Structure 1
Amino acid sequence: MSSEVSTMKSEVKDAPDSTHRRLKERHVQLIGIGGTIGTALFVAIGRGLALGGPANLFLGFTIWCSVILCVNNCLAEMVSYLPISSPFIRFAGRFVDEAFGVAVGYNFFIFEAIMVPFEIIAGAVILEFWNVGQYVNTAVFMAIIIVGYALINLFAVKWYGEAEFWMALGKVVLIVGLLIFTFLTMLGLNPLHDRFGFRYWENPGAFAEFYYTGTLGRFMGFLICFIQACFTIAGPDYVSMAAGETENPRKILPKAFNAVFYRLACFFVLGSLAVGVLVPHNSPELIDIFIHNKPAAGAAGSPYVLAMQRLQIGVLPHIVNALIFTSALSAGNSYVFCASRSLFGLALEGKAPKLFTRTNRFGVPVYCVLLVLLVSLLCFLQLSTGTATVFNWFIGLVTASQLLNYAVCSFTYIMFYRALKAQGIDRRTLPFRGLGQPYTGYYALFFTFTMTWVGGFTVFLPGNWDVPTFFFSYTMPVLIPAIFVVWKIVKKTRWMRADEVDLVDGLEEIEAHEAGYKEVPGWFEERWQRWSGKFTIRRRTVVDVPVVVEKEI
Structure 2
Amino acid sequence: MNNDEVANIHSASETEKKIHSAPEDYADDRDLDAEEKHSNGESHQLPELQRRLKSRHLQMIAMGGAIGTGLFIGTGTAISTAGPVGALIAYTFVGSIVYSVMTALGEVATYLPIPGAFATYANRIVDPSLGFAMGWIYWFSWASTFALELTATGLIIQFWDESIPMAAFIAIFWVVIIILNMFPVSCYGEIEFWLSSIKIVTVVGFMIFAICMNAGVGKEGYIGFRYWIHPGPFIPYLLENPRQDALAKFVGFWAILIKAGFSYQGTELVGIAAGETANPRKNVPSAIRKTFFRIVFFFIFTVFFVGIVVPSDDERLTSDSSGADANASPFVIAARRAGVNALPSIINAVLLTVVLSAANSNVYSGSRILVGLANEGFAPRIFAKTTKHGVPFASVGFTALFGLLGFLNVSNAGATVFNWLMQIAGLAGFITWASLNIIHLGFMRALKARGISRDTLPYKGTWQPFFSWYGLFFNVLIIITQGFTAFIPTFSVTDFFINYLSLILFAVLYIGHKIAFRTEFVKPIEANIDTGRCED
Whole-angstrom distance in 2 between the partners of 1:33 and 1:308: 25
Amino acid at match of 1:336: V
Is 1:274 paired with 2:305? yes
2:155 to 102, 119, 125: 125
Q: For residues 178 and 433 of structure 1, do their structure 2 counterparts lie closer, same or farther at Cα, with a shift above 3 Å needed?
A: same
Residue 188 (1) aligns with residue 216 (2) = yes
State the alpha-carbon separation in 1 of the partners of residues 499 and 194 from structure 2.
34
The Cα offsets for residues 95-133 of structure 1, whole Å up to 9 and x where unpaired, read as: 0111221111111111111111111112221222212x3
2:253 equivalent to 1:227: no
Letter in 1 for 2:517: K
**CA distance in 2: counterparts of 1:98 and 1:479, whole angstroms:** 17
**Partner of 1:488 in structure 2?**
514
- Residue 186 of structure 2 is aligned to residue 155 of structure 1: no
- AA at the equivalent of 1:480: F
Which residue in the other structure is 2:63 paired with? 33
Q: 1:286 to 1:161 in 2, by over 3 A?
A: same
Distance in 2, Cα, partners of 1:4 & 1:103: 32
Q: How does 1:122-271 map to 2 (within 5 A)?
A: 122-131=152-161, 133-134=162-163, 136-190=164-218, 192=219, 194-212=221-239, 213=242, 214-271=245-302
Q: Secondary structure at the match of 1:152?
A: helix
Query: Which position in structure 2 is the counterpart of 1:22?
Result: 52
Deviations 1:472-528 (A, max 9, x none): 321221222222222223223211111221221222xx43xx6xxxxxxxxxxxxxx
Secondary structure, aligned partner of 1:306: helix
Q: Is the 8 A contact 1:278 1:303 kept in 2?
A: no
The CA deviation at 1:15 is 4.8
Greater CA radius of gyration, 1 or 2?
A: 1
1:386 Cα deviation from its structure 2 partner: 5.5
1:431 and 2:461 aligned: no
Paired letter, 1:456:
G
Q: What is the CA–CA distance in structure 2 between the aligned matches of 1:476 and 1:498, rounded to whole Å? A: 29
Q: CA deviation at 1:451?
A: 0.9
Partner of 2:384: 357
Q: Would the aligned equivalents of 1:71 and 1:236 in 2 still touch at CA under 8 Å?
A: no
* 1:34–1:331 contact (8 Å) kept in structure 2: no
Hey, what does 1:101 align to over in structure 2? 131
User: Could you tell me whether the CA contact under 8 Å between 1:128 and 1:297 is conserved in 2?
Assistant: no
Between the aligned partners of 1:302 and 1:490, the Cα distance in structure 2 is 47
Which stretch of the first structure deviates more once superposed, 95-104 or 233-242?
A: 233-242
Does residue 1:376 correspond to 2:403, yes or no?
yes
Cα separation, 2, equivalents of 1:197 and 1:391: 39
The Cα of 1:36 is off from its aligned counterpart by 0.5
**CA shift digits 1:31-60 (9 cap, x unpaired):** 223320111111122111111110100000
Structure 1 residues 464, 177: closer, same or farther in 2, change over 3 A?
A: farther
Distance 1:297 1:504 in 2: 45
Task: Tell me which moved more, 35-44 or 410-419.
Answer: 35-44
Percent identity between matched residues is: 37
Equivalent residues of 1:35, 1:335 under 8 A apart:
no
Closer, same or farther in 2 for the Cα pair 1:211/1:231, shift >3 Å? Answer: same
Matched to 1:247, the amino acid is A
Counterpart for residue 532 of structure 1: none
Instruction: Tell me what 2:113 maps to.
Output: 83
- Whether the 8 Å CA contact 2:423–2:502 is kept in 1: the answer is no
Please give the alpha-carbon distance, in whole angstroms, between the structure 2 residues aligned to 1:313 and 1:366. Answer: 46
Letter in 2 for 1:259: K
Amino acid at match of 1:182: A
- The change in CA–CA distance for 1:386 and 1:427 in structure 2 (over 3 A counts) is same
Report the Cα distance in structure 1 between the residues aligned to 2:457 and 2:521, rounded to whole angstroms: 25
Report the secondary structure of 1:351's partner residue: coil
Aligned partners of 1:128, 1:354: CA distance in 2, in Å? 41
Using the TM superposition, give the Cα deviation of residue 296 of structure 1 relative to its aligned residue in structure 2, in angstroms. 5.2
Distance change in 2, residues 1:414/1:429 (3 Å): same
Tell me how far apart the structure 2 counterparts of residues 421 and 336 of structure 1 sit (CA, whole Å). 37
Partners of 1:301 and 1:169 in 2: CA distance: 23
Counterpart position of 2:15: none
| Residue 425 of structure 1: how far off its partner (Å) | 0.2
Q: With structure 2 as the length reference, what TM-score do the two structures score?
A: 0.89
The Cα offsets for residues 301-351 of structure 1, whole Å up to 9 and x where unpaired, read as 111211211221111111111101111110111111000000011111221
Q: In the TM superposition, what is the alpha-carbon distance from 1:394 to its structure 2 partner?
A: 2.3
Secondary structure, in 3 states, of the residue corresponding to 1:506? coil
Amino acid paired to 1:502: N
Q: How far apart, CA to CA, are the structure 1 residues paired with 2:321 and 2:522? A: 52
The amino acid that maps onto 1:74 is A
Go from structure 1 to structure 2 and tell me whether the alpha carbon gap of 1:246 and 1:430 turns closer, same or farther (over 3 Å shift).
same
Match of 1:62 in 2: 92
Deviation at 1:294, TM superposition (A): 4.2
Asked whether the equivalents of residues 79 and 88 of structure 1 are also in contact (C-alpha less than 8 Å), the reply is no
Compute the displacement of 1:151 (Å).
Answer: 1.3
Quick one: distance in 2 between partners of 1:389 and 1:195? Answer: 42
Of 129, 135, 141, the residue aligned with 1:111 is 141
Measure, in 1, the Cα distance between the counterparts of 2:453 and 2:267: 24
Task: Give the aligned partner of residue 367 of structure 1.
Answer: 394
SS in 2 for 1:85: coil
Distance 1:193 1:88 in 2: 49
The 3 A distance-change label for structure 1 pair 392 and 447 is same
Match of residue 336 from structure 2: 309
1-structure distance, mates of 2:260, 2:510:
28
Note the alpha carbon deviations across 1:168-211, whole angstroms, 9 max, x for none.
11110111111111111100122x26011111001111111011
| Mean CA deviation greater in 457-466 or 45-54 | 457-466
Aligned residue in 2 for 1:71? 101
Contact in 2 for aligned 1:33/1:235 (Cα 8 Å): no
Distance 2:323 2:396 in 1: 32
Normalised to the residue count of structure 1, the TM-score between the two structures is: 0.86
Call closer, same or farther: CA 1:193–1:485 in 2, change over 3 Å. closer
Q: Does 1:419 align with 2:446?
A: yes
What is the root-mean-square deviation in Å for CA atoms of aligned residues? 2.0
Query: In the TM superposition, what whole-angstrom CA distance separates every residue of 1:124-146 from its partner, at most 9, and x where no partner exists?
Result: 21222212x31x32111111111
Structure 1 ranges of 4+ moved more than 4 A: 1-7
Identify unmatched segments of 5+ residues in structure 2: 10-42
Match of 2:153, as an amino acid? G
CA contact (8 A) 1:75 1:88 kept: no
Q: Is the 8 A contact 2:47 2:385 kept in 1?
A: no
